[in-house]
Structure 1
Amino acid sequence: MTGKDKYLDNAEAEASMQPEQRKGQDASEQDRRLTWWREARFGMFIHWGLYSLLGGIWKGKEVPGAYGEHIMLRGRIPVKEYETIAEEFNPVRFDAEAWVRAARDAGMKYIVITAKHHDGFALYDSKVSDFNIVKRSPYGRDPMKVLAEACRKYGIKLCFYYSHAMDWHHPDSQGNTHDYPNNIGAWDDLETWIHDEDKASRYERYLEDKAFPQIRELLTEYGDVGVLWFDCGHKVTDEQGQRFVDYVRSLQPDCLVNRRVRRDGFGDYGNSGDNQLHLRVNRKDWESIHTMNQSWGYKKTDHNWKPVRSLIQNMIDVFSLNGNYLLNVGPTPEGEFDANSTEILTEIGQWMKVNGESVYGTSGSPIGKPQWGRCTAKGRTLYLHVFDWPGDGDLIVQGLRNRVTSAYLLQDPNRTGLQHQRLGEEDIVIRVPSHATDPNATVVVVEYDGEIEANPVTRLLERGFANTLSVFDGEIEGTELRWDTGKKDRDTVTHWTNDADSISWTFRAASPGTYRVLIEYGAEEGKAGGDYLVEACGQQLRGTVYAEGGAYDFRTAELGELAVHAPGTYTVTVRADRITGESLMNLRAVKLIHIPLE
């Protein structure tokens, strides 16, 4: 990610999250605040504002940038011109109850809506700034009032997004240097201005004159608020971030605050980066945020809709890592959910109606990441979310040491028992139907005795699956190698410039066997290159990087065979042997494919 994209999704530490508790924070109080949120698991993000009216188009031309809500900055639209857009913003088809019912029917338990985004326009009747929907638009009403009422009616938690760090409308805030040349720039690092007396004092004036007073409005005029969802906290100081947390606590002690109020360690729970599909989770409570297409705010030209199957499997992956999933809708300027969003929500709702038990109130997988899918847990029950159905009908459940009392398909109202038996001390096998009963993810329920005893180390499967070791599940050793952003096609380790650096995985073999070894990588022509080694079980395979195309044009190389001579736990390591380019490669995965006996 380039420096110019940093501010878009708080990317300073998006690939990792640190322990959640700051000094002086009461863990029991935090647990109490988080109780409803941990039960909810699934929520709706709503990005809606003046930018929705433009839909990514300014003066007849599409403005560069994936996010429609950033059009004021990306299009360098002057404040005075941007203000006139409000005169045309008249969402006459806005129906708060329809929005809330759509969220409820999709299985969502909370809504986070942009009360004020970076453009500074308030979607409520703010007394602090008249740049708001009531005073500047022909609509003339407060949609947050009726949304709050609808949320209470249908039992959905109302939460507010508030852009505290940046406000392009305010002359003393950050981001807008085309109207206010002496302002802090949108991509300026914190260190570049905190010792600049003029910028720092003016920015403090913005906080005191607008940000804090508007937060007071949101937390005193709309009833109980579930979360005050902040953004771009990397652009404020630790002291300022903590002031926001303390201010929220003073107004609504039970209101949650997310990590983006400042950085890792702040707030009640962590956040991933925007649309981050792969990540390293080091925080117990965290939330992943995703769009259905690419933009968050409504954008007329964004037709890159994600398949429902990939969205469902992505959110299950998040649940299996003990995270919450926040899925975005960008309503039209008229105030409706567009047809594509509605269709996606309906299909997700159909899956949730059948399988919600495997989501609400669950915790992360105690058995790691099975090759066939993911797992969630609740009480003495495991929910096996099977993405890739076993063709031979044998579903191997890795690492479960407890005695299994029953197994059945969650969608089976009769809970007809599935045959199961133990495979040694670590695993069981369940005999499942010949075909999956849900094309998105079929859930198999496993009930067991006693407190969970599990081994989360990946078990190699001997048939039917390619055992894939993703780099985000590996452990890096060295000074330069690091995980990429984890976004689409960025699920790699990158910056492999030190030949002493390596990445390793631990795996378990239940029996002896021979495996084909493949690696998947990208290497930019003219920049990457070298030789590497794959080491495991006392054996060494050598490969050469072939740099063709771009850094993320992936290819698969087969290196040879690896013999596992006995059951046990092993380590496979990829290390550089010789780097001949600026870097070695962008490694994506190692695959171990069992070779059956003749």
Structure 2
Amino acid sequence: MAEREDLMDNAEELTEFRPEAADAEGHDGRIAWWREARVGLFVHWGLYSLPGGIWRGEEVKASYAEHLMLRAKIPATEYETIADDFRAEHFDAKLWARTARMAGLKYLIITAKHHDGFAMYDSDVSDYNIVKRTPFGRDPLEELAEACREEGVKLCVYYSHSMDWHHPDSQGNTWDYPGNIGAYDDVSSWVENEDKRTRYESYLHTFALPQVKELLEKYGPIGLMWFDCGHKLTEEQGAAFVRQVREVQPDCLVNRRVWKEPFGDYGNSSDNQPHVRVPRKDWESIATLNDSWGYKANDRNWKTAEAVLRQMIDVLSLNGNFVINVGPTGDGAFDPKSVELLDEMGAWMKRNGEAVYGTEKSPIGKPPWGRCTVKGGTLYGHLFDPPASGRLVVPGLRNPVQRAYLLADPDRLPLPVSRLGGEDLLIELPAMDDSVTIPVVALEFEGELDANPVPLLVETDYPSVFGAFDADLAGPCVRYDTGKKDRDNLIGWQSPQDEASWSFRVNGPGRFGVTVTYGAEAAGGTLLLAVAPKPAHSDVPPLKLAAAIEGTGGGLAFRSVGMGHVDIPEAGEYTLTLRADGLPADSGLCVKAIQWERS
């Protein structure tokens, strides 16, 4: 079995948020700028950027280049030697800040200290820093603070507070310091160990907390302290970092990873997690342009600008902030591909930024053609897949519409709009240029927003897809997978009481073909699908389908299987429920989606 690479991104801590336990004092005032900004730039830059994932001539098998020291178990004294060649001759703080601004990104989060323990600023707490230990000899954080102020970009700081692989009393480095807490050790494994706990407490209070304090004191207003791996702390230790931030800069935001729920001013998804169940109103998604956060010379798995924009818009539609990452090279330059992608994002943002900044979550869910955001009296439809017919159905908006237009149209010529019943709209689109990336339609409506978020089964152009992460779950075992790439499915089906359900509505009777996409380790058992009106009434009995479960070669080896047809008798709202009965113990059933298509 391949070694599991723990990416230490708090993924196991995505628990339900308890609003009553949050630090509510001053919250709305602190977070106002962040809600307006919506998009930011993460910059991972450190000693690890110079080797770029290569050590002693060989690539280190690690998803993230900044984990080089841990994955290769490099002795601290050897890792220190990277600093001798760290000249950063192409570092230009003004260019970094200007690149963020031109890409339409309103804040910048810089790694002041990552898990390797090397401070990328002039630390008074430790001489192990870029000013005192490298030929570069300057304080990039001081220069970046000034550049961000000049460019109107909010400066934010990343600080790895729970781990330091260079420090003899911290967590992570057990090859140099065998008595330390291990990088993957749970809190429960060391909290009762007096030696480990005492030494670690000493590290926090004499090193980590003082470094956080000096970061907040030396560089002017900081918009956000971005902590990491807080699940490796006790609750009391996490609270100490929140107090330290509040004491020095009360208006500075703190992210959830300072500990775990309910800490922080906003929630975090895990790293590169495009599919989420949003735990609270304010939350943030972070993503890379390729696979690694720090610069990795052999990582050429670049996303397209359109893929990044789609992920960003999906996050915005769920009321999240989106932060995209760049890993500068060891010489301090943004690599050409990152610059190219940021330029493409910036061009889109220049045309469509109105549909991004200060917007809130979609009031009409996830239409089949894309995603929506809303601000004031305008609904913005981001067209991932414009309808081939040119007839755009906007479901669920009950308000009268004053006008509709393409946001990038400098003349904002009105588009024909008509009403489909009491809740849905039809917009006649002009011929769409296939070369245009994600066009945006703006709908200006009258009055206070009045919308129905229940998905509509559309008549033409698209199948209706019920995705795993849009389901409501019940039962003792079934749960969502990680939500990362290719893991947007349900896992754990074991009990006949396990079920996934979705609400939907139709505007009239119709026949629909139903397909379920699933994977299974072994054949056996039956998928049971039921459709019932909501609220239930005797005139329309539940409609049921069943299909034998076949082995597909693995739980993640997905196959689409037709289950038959469902005849919906009348307009209204319905509930679709999926269960599995008679599963063998080794079934390994995973469900990805249910697709409906009008017959």
Band the TM-score falls in, shorter-chain normalisation: over 0.9
- Consecutive unaligned residues of structure 1, counting only runs of 5 or more, are none
Shift of 1:190: 0.9
8 Å contact kept, 1:133–1:142:
yes
Residue by residue over 1:336-369, the C-alpha shift from the partner in whole angstroms, topping out at 9 and shown as x without a partner, is 0101101100000000000000000000111111
Q: Which residue of 2 aligns with 1:477?
A: 474
Residue by residue over 1:485-537, the C-alpha shift from the partner in whole angstroms, topping out at 9 and shown as x without a partner, is 0000000010112232010000011111111101112223x5x7532111114
Matches within 5 A, 1:491-506: 491-506=488-503
Q: Which residue of 2 aligns with 1:359?
A: 356
TM-score (norm. length: structure 1): 0.96
DSSP 3-state at the match of 1:553: strand
DSSP 3-state at the match of 1:458: coil
8 Å contact kept, 2:482–2:488:
yes
DSSP 3-state at the match of 1:579: coil
Matched, 1:248 2:245: yes
Shift of 1:547: 2.1
Q: Which residue of 1 aligns with 2:24?
A: 26
Matched, 1:530 2:542: no
Q: Which residue of 2 aligns with 1:313?
A: 310
Residue by residue over 1:270-314, the C-alpha shift from the partner in whole angstroms, topping out at 9 and shown as x without a partner, is 101100010101311010000000000000111100111111011
DSSP 3-state at the match of 1:8: coil
Matched, 1:205 2:202: yes
Matched, 1:384 2:381: yes
Matches within 5 A, 1:125-524: 125-436=122-433, 439-524=436-521
8 Å contact kept, 1:20–1:284:
no
TM-score (norm. length: structure 2): 0.96
Shift of 1:19: 3.9
DSSP 3-state at the match of 1:514: strand
Q: Which residue of 2 aligns with 1:543?
A: 547
8 Å contact kept, 1:17–1:270:
no
Which runs of at least 4 in structure 1 moved beyond 3 Å after TM superposition?
A: 2-7, 436-439
Shift of 1:553: 2.2
> Match for 1:568 among 568, 572, 587?
572
How far apart in 2 are the matches of 1:4 and 1:285? Answer: 31
How far apart in 2 are the matches of 1:411 and 1:141? Answer: 43
DSSP 3-state at the match of 2:209: helix
Q: Which residue of 2 aligns with 1:577?
A: 581
The answer to which of 439-448 and 324-333 deviates more is 439-448
How far apart in 2 are the matches of 1:486 and 1:256? Answer: 26
How far apart in 2 are the matches of 1:549 and 1:347? Answer: 40
Shift of 1:464: 0.8
How far apart in 2 are the matches of 1:107 and 1:570? Answer: 41
How far apart in 1 are the matches of 2:150 and 2:415? Answer: 41
Identity rate, percent: 54
Q: Which residue of 2 aligns with 1:558?
A: 562
How far apart in 2 are the matches of 1:439 and 1:554? Answer: 32
How far apart in 2 are the matches of 1:564 and 1:436? Answer: 36
- Taking structure 1 as reference, are residues 218 and 529 closer, same or farther at Cα in structure 2, changes over 3 Å only? farther
DSSP 3-state at the match of 1:434: coil
Residue by residue over 1:7-63, the C-alpha shift from the partner in whole angstroms, topping out at 9 and shown as x without a partner, is 52111224x55145535x335x10000011000000000001011111111111111
How far apart in 1 are the matches of 2:16 and 2:342? Answer: 29
8 Å contact kept, 1:47–1:114:
yes
Shift of 1:558: 1.0
8 Å contact kept, 1:125–1:133:
yes
How far apart in 1 are the matches of 2:524 and 2:330? Answer: 50
Aligned residues: 589
How far apart in 2 are the matches of 1:130 and 1:193? Answer: 29
How far apart in 1 are the matches of 2:243 and 2:80? Answer: 33
Residue identity in the other structure for 1:593: E
Q: Which residue of 1 aligns with 2:537?
A: none
Q: Cα RMSD over matched residues?
A: 1.4
How far apart in 1 are the matches of 2:38 and 2:299? Answer: 28
How far apart in 1 are the matches of 2:590 and 2:3? Answer: 20
> Match for 1:594 among 583, 586, 598?
598
Shift of 1:6: 4.4
How far apart in 1 are the matches of 2:314 and 2:12? Answer: 23
8 Å contact kept, 1:20–1:270:
no
Matched, 1:8 2:21: no
8 Å contact kept, 2:145–2:155:
yes
How far apart in 1 are the matches of 2:437 and 2:493? Answer: 36
Q: Which residue of 2 aligns with 1:45?
A: 42
Residue by residue over 1:419-467, the C-alpha shift from the partner in whole angstroms, topping out at 9 and shown as x without a partner, is 1111111111111113257643110000111101110001000111010
How far apart in 2 are the matches of 1:68 and 1:323? Answer: 27
Q: Which residue of 2 aligns with 1:95?
A: 92
How far apart in 2 are the matches of 1:549 and 1:138? Answer: 55
DSSP 3-state at the match of 2:263: coil
DSSP 3-state at the match of 2:195: helix
- Taking structure 1 as reference, are residues 37 and 248 closer, same or farther at Cα in structure 2, changes over 3 Å only? same
- Taking structure 1 as reference, are residues 90 and 437 closer, same or farther at Cα in structure 2, changes over 3 Å only? same
How far apart in 1 are the matches of 2:431 and 2:149? Answer: 45
Residue by residue over 1:231-279, the C-alpha shift from the partner in whole angstroms, topping out at 9 and shown as x without a partner, is 0010001111111111100000110000000001101001011000101
- Consecutive unaligned residues of structure 2, counting only runs of 5 or more, are 533-541
8 Å contact kept, 1:123–1:142:
yes
How far apart in 1 are the matches of 2:547 and 2:61? Answer: 40
How far apart in 1 are the matches of 2:83 and 2:496? Answer: 56
How far apart in 1 are the matches of 2:152 and 2:291? Answer: 29
Shift of 1:548: 2.8
Shift of 1:545: 2.5
8 Å contact kept, 2:552–2:559:
no
8 Å contact kept, 2:519–2:591:
yes
DSSP 3-state at the match of 1:552: strand
How far apart in 1 are the matches of 2:84 and 2:425? Answer: 64
How far apart in 2 are the matches of 1:54 and 1:499? Answer: 52
8 Å contact kept, 1:392–1:434:
no
- Taking structure 1 as reference, are residues 352 and 20 closer, same or farther at Cα in structure 2, changes over 3 Å only? farther
- Taking structure 1 as reference, are residues 9 and 254 closer, same or farther at Cα in structure 2, changes over 3 Å only? same
8 Å contact kept, 1:576–1:584:
no
How far apart in 2 are the matches of 1:21 and 1:141? Answer: 45
Residue identity in the other structure for 2:489: T
How far apart in 1 are the matches of 2:307 and 2:168? Answer: 42
Matched, 1:73 2:70: yes
Shift of 1:583: 3.5
Residue identity in the other structure for 1:533: L
8 Å contact kept, 2:552–2:558:
no
Residue identity in the other structure for 2:24: D
- Taking structure 1 as reference, are residues 308 and 529 closer, same or farther at Cα in structure 2, changes over 3 Å only? farther
How far apart in 2 are the matches of 1:4 and 1:120? Answer: 24
DSSP 3-state at the match of 1:277: coil
